[in-house]
Structure 1
Amino acid sequence: MDVDLLELSSIEAERTSQNPGGIARILSGTFFLLLLTAAYWFHSSESFGREFSVSVFAGSALGFVMQRSRFCFFCNFRDYYREKDPRGALGILTAIAVSTIGTFTVFEAWIPLPNAGYLPPNAFVGPVQVHLLLAGFSFGLGMVVSGSCISGHLYRIAEGSFGSIPTLVGVVFGFVLGFLTWNSFYSLWIAEAPVIWLPQHLGYAGSLILILFVLAVAAFAITRNGIVPDGKKESNEILHSRGNRFPNVLFEGRWPSWIGGILVGLISILYYLRVRPLGVTSELGRISRTLANSFGILPDRLYGLDSIAGCATKQEVHALTINAVFIVSLIAGSFVSSLAASQFHFLIPDLPGRKILIYWFGGIFLGWGACVAVGCTFGAFFSGISAGSLSGFVFAFGLIPGILLGNLVLNGSNRNF
């Protein structure tokens, strides 16, 4: 199978942005003003309030940064695995390090004694058992088949990604399958699984040192084996964007991955401090659960699901949920960026029906994995590790064989994905 089958759009990862035309500038500015208006309306509304307003700002900022720096968990891993380009993977490690330091600072203010017997509010600290490895395996396989993780598909909608929509439809189907298998997994593994929050065992300092050490070892290994292609160095340096003035300088080329990582880490800290941890699957899971219940195909009760920390799928007070606002804002923020940088391109590839089916199939694996893990690469992995949860590391270990198997099946044992 050709590699281009997995590409989400016609945009090359390192292609230098062009100066946007008048229509693109107007549309980008319009989306920006709409985001400001939405944030103000939510903040002034008695029915919604500050958390919804903050979600608009945080979601749009995250979408903007992800699009500018190409912050995608799978794509950055693929760049390293296929081309030995370490920049994206180092950006992810940077984001986790920044988020972990900031999150632990918040924890210490909220819970001075981590061994007091209770967990930090809303933090993604989940049960640790075999189900996380299976969920990670499924999610990793889904990333290879569909071409990205769920958050990557969300921001690439705003780039005109052909594969993102059928993938997200597949995610809904995958969530439904996850709900159908949940009770069996819960009784078999999850119900008695330990919830391991590292600060309860090692303290804040010990846990932070351990996590940063693991990240440093990973960064050293990636740097030692990685090679930055000479032809791509210029496009990766925003500081050398051919002398353009602000704000055009923001839309020239790809932002350095380390800048994207720092900004994603800071956004995650501020969003957790004001609202909740970063996560993008709660609303997708809630929609899936509502649809499945409307057809009467789910069990009357999903044991323990709504009590596990993570991207919860239960009904909220408002039909318009905080996570829905966050996701829509993420897509809109990416639109602002892609339009301003002239990186919105929608093209229908050859054999579109076949590719839609493959993207949809990959989405099913993503959805099932996200349902069983109660989170995706942003929730279970990124926010989990940042919170000092062992579950985040276990989910990450599950991702690796899923990615490798997907590469083997799709591209052959002697080809890279």
Structure 2
Amino acid sequence: MSLRDPETVAVTEPSTTETDTTGTSPPAQRKVLTIGGVLAVALGVATAAVGGWRMAVLYAIGLAFGLVLFHARFGFTSAWRQLVAVGQGKALRAHMLMLAVAAALFAPILSAGLGLGTTPEGSVSPVSISVVVGAFLFGLGMQVGGSCASGTLYNVGGGQTAIVFTLVGFIVGAVLGAWHFAFWTSTLPSGPEISLARTPLGYGGALAATLAVLGLIAAGTLVVARRKQPPRLSRPPAAAGLARAVRGSWPLWVGAVGLAVLNALTLVVKGKAWGITSAFTLWGSKVAQAAGVDVADWGYWSSPDNAATLAGPVLAHGTSVMDFGIILGAFLAAAAGGVFVLHRRVPRKVVVGAIIGGILMGYGARIAYGCNIGAYFAGIASFSLHGWLWAVMAIIGTYAGLKARPLIGLAVPKRTDSSC
């Protein structure tokens, strides 16, 4: 048994580790790969026609994100679950590497304003009650729904049928969060936006402090592991030689560095760091608007930038085109590796968990100014204190989520499990 649910492999992110299990990869699924290639090119052409060169570049970056996420099987849900459930910290140490590389890249980009025709801005949000509640709900939803924001996209692209229900719940929750956004951010007490780089530390001191904390956390996971003696992690079979880069699984550290570099590239091209869930809010709000709901009157959509986004086409929204790219990038990677499989039968309790978890994550992400990508990854890399607050509350939510799983009939990993 692994830290994935025994009911179905489609309920959560694949296991992650730095060590590969030797084996023979299945042949590429040429028909599926061809379909994916045609879809990727067609959407790229449409994106360029509607949104211009910048949207086309962001779409290409999204494709790269999907490839990296899938090949590295880079998990956020699984990393926190592994640590909390059995004390396995390898995947979380990969997070620390990713954050360290991203922060080292973000510091010069933000301090020098190195943008491609735009001035880059870090992901800095208020330290508030909405972040506390939203991040907790997100952590809870991750473990119940079996995925996170990035994991939802690349698992959908990889053919994980159950995660489609998580995505639907995500969109519903994001719309509900947008509806209540003004209450959480304006009515309730909220602190200021605090960036370590805007203190006397400056970017150099902020980077040094961030790297020190990341190092301490990584060291702490080793202490936990020595005490709990967690099970070893398993890994999908890897192709040999050069085929590994195209078809096999990648070491976790490669995924960490790749995601950090792509996030920095996103910051340069887009002017903002990588995010995911604002697209879910947009898609769901457009559907609600088409059904006659006056979403434009909601506080979330009242700001000039958000109002323009709601009024504009989806393919002119950078986060949306990147999300589409992630799905198709993972689709291509899965087909090239011969592992794209649609699971036709999904247990009812898994569907229930996926929808509930998705709603909790969507709602939590919206009121917490982001998800595991926009708040945790981008926030910490931008030296924002709200990113650290988000991380702490998401870990607490993870613990609650593991306690909640049996309530809907889902298994909870045990220390005796053979892998994570």
TM category (shorter chain) comes to: 0.7 to 0.9
CA deviations on 1:75-96 (whole Å, 9 max, x unpaired) are: 1222333344332211111111
Following superposition, the deviation at residue 48 of structure 1 comes to: 2.5
Report the counterpart of residue 335 of structure 2 in structure 1.
339
CA deviations on 1:277-298 (whole Å, 9 max, x unpaired) are: 1111121111222233444556
Deviating more after overlay: 279-288 vs 317-326: 317-326
What one-letter code is carried by the residue in structure 2 that aligns with 1:128? V
Deviating more after overlay: 311-320 vs 152-161: 311-320
1:51, 1:274 within 8 Å by CA — same for their partners in 2?
yes
Report the counterpart of residue 359 of structure 1 in structure 2.
354
Mapped to 2, the partners of 1:187 and 1:315 lie a distance apart of 21
Mapped to 1, the partners of 2:84 and 2:75 lie a distance apart of 14
The structure-2 alpha-carbon separation of the partners of 1:345 and 1:232, relative to structure 1 and needing over 3 Å to count, comes to same
Mapped to 2, the partners of 1:312 and 1:416 lie a distance apart of 44
CA deviations on 1:45-75 (whole Å, 9 max, x unpaired) are: 4x43221121122111111111111112111
Specify the SS of the correspondent of 1:62. helix
The structure-2 alpha-carbon separation of the partners of 1:308 and 1:147, relative to structure 1 and needing over 3 Å to count, comes to farther
Q: 2:61 is matched with which residue: 35, 58, 61?
A: 58
Mapped to 2, the partners of 1:273 and 1:122 lie a distance apart of 9
Report the counterpart of residue 115 of structure 1 in structure 2.
none
CA deviations on 1:217-254 (whole Å, 9 max, x unpaired) are: 01111133337989758x5896xx5xx342345423x3
Mapped to 2, the partners of 1:125 and 1:300 lie a distance apart of 25
Report the counterpart of residue 382 of structure 1 in structure 2.
377
What one-letter code is carried by the residue in structure 2 that aligns with 1:20? P
- Identity in percent: 25
Which segments of 5 or more consecutive residues in structure 2 lack a partner in the other structure?
Answer: 415-420
Q: Where does 1:28-67 land on structure 2 (aligned, <5 Å)?
A: 28=33, 31-32=36-37, 35=40, 38-39=43-44, 42-43=47-48, 45=49, 47-67=50-70
Deviating more after overlay: 47-56 vs 3-12: 3-12
Report the counterpart of residue 417 of structure 2 in structure 1.
none
CA deviations on 1:284-327 (whole Å, 9 max, x unpaired) are: 11122223344455676333666599x99942643422222211
2:172, 2:284 within 8 Å by CA — same for their partners in 1?
yes
Deviating more after overlay: 203-212 vs 12-21: 12-21
Following superposition, the deviation at residue 139 of structure 1 comes to: 0.4
Report the counterpart of residue 71 of structure 1 in structure 2.
74
Report the counterpart of residue 250 of structure 2 in structure 1.
255
What one-letter code is carried by the residue in structure 2 that aligns with 1:54? V
What one-letter code is carried by the residue in structure 2 that aligns with 1:330? I
2:181, 2:300 within 8 Å by CA — same for their partners in 1?
no
Following superposition, the deviation at residue 18 of structure 1 comes to: 4.2
The structure-2 alpha-carbon separation of the partners of 1:395 and 1:305, relative to structure 1 and needing over 3 Å to count, comes to farther
Mapped to 2, the partners of 1:312 and 1:383 lie a distance apart of 23
1:9, 1:159 within 8 Å by CA — same for their partners in 2?
no
Mapped to 1, the partners of 2:76 and 2:12 lie a distance apart of 19
Report the counterpart of residue 267 of structure 2 in structure 1.
272
The structure-2 alpha-carbon separation of the partners of 1:67 and 1:212, relative to structure 1 and needing over 3 Å to count, comes to same
Query: Which TM-score applies when normalising by structure 2?
Result: 0.83
Following superposition, the deviation at residue 183 of structure 1 comes to: 2.2
Q: Where does 1:202-221 land on structure 2 (aligned, <5 Å)?
A: 202-221=201-220
Mapped to 2, the partners of 1:199 and 1:342 lie a distance apart of 45
1:95, 1:262 within 8 Å by CA — same for their partners in 2?
yes
Following superposition, the deviation at residue 193 of structure 1 comes to: 3.0
Q: Where does 1:93-104 land on structure 2 (aligned, <5 Å)?
A: 93-104=96-107
What one-letter code is carried by the residue in structure 2 that aligns with 1:31? G
Specify the SS of the correspondent of 1:85. coil
The structure-2 alpha-carbon separation of the partners of 1:122 and 1:11, relative to structure 1 and needing over 3 Å to count, comes to closer
The structure-2 alpha-carbon separation of the partners of 1:141 and 1:298, relative to structure 1 and needing over 3 Å to count, comes to farther
Following superposition, the deviation at residue 206 of structure 1 comes to: 1.3
Following superposition, the deviation at residue 340 of structure 1 comes to: 1.6
Q: 1:4 is matched with which residue: 3, 6, 14?
A: 6
Following superposition, the deviation at residue 34 of structure 1 comes to: 5.2
RMSD (CA atoms): 3.2
Q: Where does 1:224-303 land on structure 2 (aligned, <5 Å)?
A: 224-226=223-225, 235=235, 244-248=240-244, 250-252=246-248, 254-275=249-270, 276-295=272-291, 297=293, 301-303=297-299
Following superposition, the deviation at residue 3 of structure 1 comes to: 4.0
Q: Say whether 1:173 aligns with 2:172.
A: yes
Mapped to 2, the partners of 1:150 and 1:283 lie a distance apart of 11
What one-letter code is carried by the residue in structure 2 that aligns with 1:197? S
Q: Where does 1:105-254 land on structure 2 (aligned, <5 Å)?
A: 105-110=108-113, 121-189=120-188, 193-201=191-199, 202-226=201-225, 235=235, 244-248=240-244, 250-252=246-248, 254=249
Mapped to 1, the partners of 2:399 and 2:150 lie a distance apart of 20
The structure-2 alpha-carbon separation of the partners of 1:85 and 1:169, relative to structure 1 and needing over 3 Å to count, comes to same
Which segments of 5 or more consecutive residues in structure 1 lack a partner in the other structure?
Answer: 112-119
Report the counterpart of residue 117 of structure 1 in structure 2.
none
Mapped to 1, the partners of 2:23 and 2:161 lie a distance apart of 20
1:237, 1:256 within 8 Å by CA — same for their partners in 2?
no
Query: Which TM-score applies when normalising by structure 1?
Result: 0.84
Specify the SS of the correspondent of 2:127. coil
Specify the SS of the correspondent of 1:193. strand
Q: 1:369 is matched with which residue: 364, 371, 388?
A: 364
2:81, 2:143 within 8 Å by CA — same for their partners in 1?
no
Mapped to 1, the partners of 2:368 and 2:7 lie a distance apart of 28
Between the two proteins, the alignment pairs up a number of residues equal to 395
Mapped to 1, the partners of 2:392 and 2:87 lie a distance apart of 20
What one-letter code is carried by the residue in structure 1 that aligns with 2:184? F
